[in-house]
Amino acid sequence: MQIRLYIAVSCLLLATIGGSQSAFSSPSLPLPVVATNIAEIDATYAANYNGMSITAVKTLTAVADGEYLDRLDATSMFGEISQSARFKISAKGQLMPLEYRDQRSILGIKRSEEQIFDWDLSQLQYRKGKRNAQMAIQPGLLDIPTHHLQLRRDLAGGRSQFEYPVAARGKRQMYRYIQVTEELLETPMGPLDTVVMERQRDNDSRRTTVWLAPKWDYLLVKLEQIEKKERYTMMLESAAINGRTVTPNSASTEEIL
């Protein structure tokens, strides 16, 4: 069970796991908010399942040639997982995923997975172990990290519908969310104002909820996933956005972006 928690939480940190396959197009939705300024993030999270814990560090940084790197490093007594995703912003200001890599070593067993976007050829290359797959792609398709970033930017832009075509594990899926409520959430840093978003699924056996902080660029503060009788939780312990430390409501919360 501890190993299952370790793998599940590492995936949840980049965004919610799993998805329902769906058609690519969604003509009824308005265009997403375009990316202009991407805030750099350095955050530490703690995950828990029945008293078992994992520590993870998530960073989002600008790199050369106008690209960004979204990285997660999770460790526990069972091993380590490193996930990285590279993306850029198109001339029209849209997020464009470039590659996603997952490398893990758990109890001495090593596994790797990668997803490469070739926008010149409009093709996705997926590799996991001996499995290789290809898929045609078109502008607007995201991966897990970029769809999570787009969700945050759409919230900041005032959108009320949240639906994203996502390439995950070599397949096209549709991720949908609804805003449930607003909540003053107690965290290890102190109270933070949050909006509560819930993932919409075809399968009711799994429920994923995320808490995002509007005053801090809609940073992920808490995540909870309930599947049957099992509950995974993850909570922000500390973070900095564009070099400024995230502080609770009782401290100074001057505009940072």
pLDDT along the chain (257 residues), means of 10: 47 41 39 72 83 83 90 80 92 93 81 94 93 93 94 93 93 94 95 96 82 96 85 91 92 44
Reference 85, options 110, 63, 55, 106; nearest CA is: 63
Q: How long, in residues, is the chain?
A: 257
DSSP calls for 192-240: EEEEEEEEE-S-TTEEEEEEEEGGGTTEEEEEEEEETTEEEEEEEEEEE
CB count within 10 Å of CB 183 equals: 15
Residue 169: per-residue pLDDT:
87
- Name the DSSP class of 93: S
Report the pLDDT value the prediction gives residue 172, as an integer from 0 to 100. Answer: 92
Q: Which amino acid is at 52?
A: M
Whole-angstrom distance, CA of residue 91 vs CA of residue 95: 10
State the pLDDT at residue 31: 56
Structure tokens at 221: 């503060």
Query: What is the reported pLDDT for 242?
Result: 95
pLDDT at residue 76, rounded to an integer: 73
Burial 31-41 (b: 16+ CB within 10 A, else e): ebbebeebbeb
In what helix (H) or strand (E) does residue 43 lie, and over which residues does it extend? strand 41-49
CB 103, CB 131: distance < 8 Å:
no
Model pTM score: 0.82
Residue type at 34? V
DSSP-derived secondary structure letter, 40:
P
Q: Is the Cα torsion angle 88, 93, 95, 98 positive or negative in sign?
A: negative
Please state the domain extents for the chain. Answer: 2-177
- The C-alpha atoms of residue 139 and residue 72 are separated, in whole angstroms, by 26
C-beta of residue 163 within 8 angstroms of C-beta of residue 175 = yes
∠ CA(13), CA(79), CA(56), 5° rounding? 30
Helix, strand or coil, per DSSP, at residue 122: coil
Host H or E run for residue 185: strand 171-187
Q: Which helix (H) or strand (E) holds 155?
A: helix 144-156
**Secondary structure class of 137 (helix, strand, coil):** coil
